[in-house]
Amino acid sequence: MANTFPVRLRSPKGTTTIHVNPNRTIGDLQLLISSATQILPSLQDIKIGYPPTQAMLVPSLPLASLNLKRGDQIIVSTLSAEHSVLSSATKHITASPRDVDGGLPTLGAGGEGASSMERERLAVQDHSGDGLVDHVAVDGQFLVLREVPDDNSCLFSSIALIFEQDMRAAPKLRSVVASAIKGDPDTFSDVFLGRPRDEYITTILKATSWGGAIELSILSDHYQTEISSFDVETGRCDRFGQGKYQNRCFLMYSGIHYDAVSMSPTVSAPADFHQTVFPVEAEGIFAAAGRLAVKRREKGAFTNTTTFDLCCQTCGVRIKGEKDARAHAKETGHAEFGEY
Lowest mean pLDDT among 9-18, 31-40, 84-93: 84-93
Average pLDDT over residues 215-244: 94
Could you tell me the residue range of the domain that residue 75 belongs to? 5-79
Other C-beta atoms lying within 10 Å of the C-beta of residue 38: 11
106 and 214 both lie in a single domain = no
- Does the pLDDT at position 239 exceed 70? yes
CA end-to-end span of the chain: 41
Per-residue pLDDT of 174-195, as tens digits, reads: 999 999 999 999 999 998 888 8
Catalytic residue among 150, 151, 221, 324: 151
- Judge residue 22's burial from the number of C-beta atoms within 10 Å of its C-beta, 0-12 exposed, 13-18 middle, 19 or more buried: middle
Would you give the distance in Å from CA 189 to the centre of its chain? Answer: 21
Q: Same domain, yes or no, for 98 and 193?
A: no
| Residue 274 is a catalytic residue | no
Residues 43 and 57 sit within 8 Å (Cβ to Cβ): no
In a domain, 85, yes or no: no
DSSP per residue over 62-94, as a string?
BGGGGT--TT-EEEEEEPPGGG-TTGGG-----
CATH of the domain at 215: 3.90.70.80
* One domain, residues 276 and 332: no
Is 328 labeled as catalytic in the residue annotation?
no
The catalytically annotated residue of 135, 274, 328, 334 is: 334
* Distance of alpha carbon 321 from alpha carbon 270, whole angstroms: 38
pLDDT class of 81 with cuts at 50, 70, 90: very low
**Which residue of the set 154, 237, 249, 312 is catalytic?**
154
Q: Are residues 294 and 266 in the same domain?
A: yes
Q: Which of 135, 257, 274, 328 is catalytic?
A: 257
pTM of the model: 0.60
| 326 inside domain | yes
* Mean pLDDT of all residues in 275-290: 93
Q: Are residues 60 and 74 in the same domain?
A: yes
Percent of the chain with pLDDT over 70: 77
What is the number of structural domains in the chain?
A: 3
Cis peptide before 6 (omega within 30 of 0): no
Tens of pLDDT, residues 307-334: 567 777 778 888 776 567 667 776 776 6
